Structure 1
Amino acid sequence: MLKFNVLGPLEIRVDNEKSSIPRGPKVRQLLSLMVLRAGSVVPHRILVDELWGKNPPKTALSTVRTHVYHLRKILAQETDRVAGAHLIDTWSAGYVLRAVPEQVDAETFLRLARKGESLLHAGDVCEASRVLSRALELWSGGVLTDVTCGPVLMQHVQHLQEMHMRVLQQRIEADMRLGRHGGLAAELRSLVVRHPLNEWLHGQLITALYLSGRRGDALHAYQELRGILQEELGLDPSRAVQQIQQVILSGGDESMLRHPHNWRWGAAVGQLPNAS
C-alpha cells in the first residue's frame, strides 16, 4: 500500500518500505501541499501562492506544470507504473492527489484524535489513553521538518502542531485520571523544558509530583513556574495554578487535583483561563 507521511520528514512508503522522494525544494512543497489536501482539488492559485508568495514569476503556471510532470514520473517509478501515473489528476482549476485518508499519516492522526477525545468525554478513560497514545506515536518529529514551507503549508503545519499539543494534553489528562502520577512526572519535566510558558503542563507537573508524595518538589516546581512567568512576561501564575498551590499548602481536598478536567483548563498552548 502506498502511504504518505508528513508528521516528521516527508516520506513516501510502499508496503512500509521507504521510497525515494523528490529532491527539488519546490517539488517537495507541491507534493506536501497535495498530500495535506489529498482527495481535494488544489487550485493553481493556491499552488502559486505557496511556491512564490505575493510575487510569482510570469512563468509560474508553466513551472507548476513542469513540477507536476516530474512528480508523476517519480510516483510512477516508485509504484506500479500505471497506477502511479494516475495518482495526480489534472482538473481545469488545479490538481488533485488521488489518495484516501488511510494513506496519509496526518489524516490517521486526526481521526484517532477525534476518537480519543470522544472516549475521554464519555468517561472511557483507559481506552481514551490508549487511542490518544496511538495518535501521538504517529509523530516522528515536527511536521514536514525537511520541507521549506510557504504561507499555505505553514497554516497546515501550525494547525497540526496545535492539534498535537491538544492530543498530548488530553492523553496526560487521561493518565492523571488513571492515577499514573509517578510515571507522568518525568515526562512532564521534559515537556515544561520544551514549552516553558505552557501553564497547563506546569500545573500537571506540580499536581503529579504532589500526588506522587513529593510535596516539596511540587512546591519547588510552582516557584520555578512563577519565576519563569515573572521574568518572561511580568505575570504571576494563573488563578488555576495558584489554587493548585493552595490545595498543596493547606493539605485540602485532593479530589480536584486527581481530575484535571474539573479545573476547566483551556486548550490554548501556553495560556490557561482562570478556574472557576
Structure 2
Amino acid sequence: MQINLLGPLSVRVNGIDVTPTAPKTRRVLALLAIHANRVVPNQLLIEELWDDKPPPSVTTTLQTYVYQLRKHLNTRLPSMGRPPQSERPRGEALRTYAGGYLLSLSPDALDWLRFEQLTQRGRAELERGEVVTAVRTLREALALWQGPALVDINPGPLLQVEALRLDEICKSALELRMDADLRLGRHHELLGELTGLAARQPTHEGFQGKLMLALYRAGRRSEALDAYQRARETLVDELGVDPCDDLQHLHRAILAGDPALNVPGANTLRNAPRVDADNRIKREVEWAQARPA
C-alpha cells in the first residue's frame, strides 16, 4: 500500500488506485495516515468530522465510514488473481481497537514519513559538512511534494493543523536546501527561485534574507538593498514589526561589503556540480506558491 498526502490524496494497493471519493471517508483516511501506527481515539475522529456538532447516531455513522474505508483498502481486482506470498498483507491495515482505530503501515508506505526521514538525513549531512550530498538528499525529499499538503481534502480542525505543520516542515527543508546551494556558490541558479518565493511570501524573512544574499553575491548590491527595504516595509505594514535581528544584521553587512558574505572556500566549489535550478526545482516550490505565508 502507498498513501500520499503531500499534494492530492492518493491511495494505491498493489499498484491499483483505490483513493476514496467520499469527503468524510477521505478525512478519516487522512487523519489515520497522519497518525499511522498509533491508535486514533474515536473522539478525535468525531471532532475532525463534525467538530462540536456530531449527529445523534455518531458512533454508527463513524463505523460506516470506517467500513467504507476498509473496503477501499482491501480492494483486489478480479483479474489480478491471488497476490504472491511476498505481497500479501500480514494482517488488516486498518484495525479496530477499544475506543479507536489504527492504520498499520510501513514508513515507506507514507510520503510524509519518507519526507521527514530524508529531511533529517539531509540536515545531518549538512551538519557534517557533506554539502553536495545534503543537497541531493534534500532535493529527493522535496520532490515528494506534489502540491500543498492535503490540498484536495476539505479539512476539519485537526487536519487543518496538520496541513500547516507539514507545510512549515517543507519550508524548513527548502530553506536548508537553499542554504546548502548558497554554500556551494549556486547563487546565480537560485535567483529565479528566490525572487518568486520572496514575492509570493513577502513576510517570510528566511526567503527574503536568502534573496538578499544571492543578489549580493551576484554583484547586485543595490538590488539586495532594495529587497531589504521592500521586506521591511511589508513587515511593518502587514505585521507591525521590524525585520528580525538576522535580517537587520545581513542588511548592515551588505552595506559594509562584509567579506564574510562571500562564497565559502573555493575547494568546495570545484567539486560541486552545477545544476539547472529552473528545471530541477520547479515542483519543489509549487506548494509555497500555492499557500500564503
Place the TM-score, normalised by the shorter chain, in its bin: 0.7 to 0.9
Percent identity, please: 38
Question: 2:224 corresponds to which letter in structure 1?
Answer: A
CA distance in 2, matches of 1:121, 1:191: 25
State the distance in 2 between where 1:14 and 1:77 align: 7
Q: State the AA in 2 paired with 1:245.
A: H
Pairing 1:142–2:141 present:
no
Normalised to the residue count of structure 1, the TM-score between the two structures is 0.86
Q: Is the 8 A contact 2:3 2:110 kept in 1?
A: yes
Match of 2:209 in 1: 203
**1:71 maps to which residue?**
69
2:19 — aligned with what?
21
Give the Å deviation of 1:84. 10
Matched residue SS, 2:117:
helix
Q: Which runs of 5+ in 1 are unaligned?
A: 260-269, 272-276
Aligned to 1:266: none
- Taking the aligned partners of 2:36 and 2:248, their CA distance within structure 1 comes to 45
Counterparts of residues 166-185 of structure 1 (less than 5 Å): 166-185=172-191
1:237 and 2:236 aligned: no
Distance in 1 separating the partners of 2:146 and 2:106:
21
2:35 aligned to which of 25, 34, 37: 37
Change (3 A) 1:18 1:192: farther
Q: Secondary structure at the match of 1:89?
A: strand
In the TM superposition, what are the counterparts of 1:111-130 in structure 2 within 5 Å? 111-130=117-136
With normalisation by structure 2, the TM-score equals 0.81
Match of 2:225?
A: 219
Ranges in structure 2 where 5+ consecutive residues have no aligned partner? 265-291
Per-residue CA shift, 1:190-229, capped at 9, x if unaligned?
1112211011111110110110112222122222222222
Whether the 8 Å CA contact 1:143–1:160 is kept in 2: the answer is: yes
The Cα RMSD (Å) is: 2.3
2:10 maps to 1:11 = yes
Query: Is the 8 Å Cα contact of residues 207 and 257 (structure 1) preserved in structure 2?
Result: no
Shift of 1:85: 8.5
Q: Is the 8 A contact 1:76 1:85 kept in 2?
A: no
Match of 2:283 in 1: none
Q: Distance in 2 between matches of 1:203 and 1:118?
A: 23
Which amino acid is 2:2 matched to? K
Instruction: Count matched residues.
Output: 258
Equivalence for 1:251? 257
Partner Cα separation in structure 1 for residue 263 and residue 212 of structure 2: 12
The structural deviation recorded for 1:83 is: 4.6
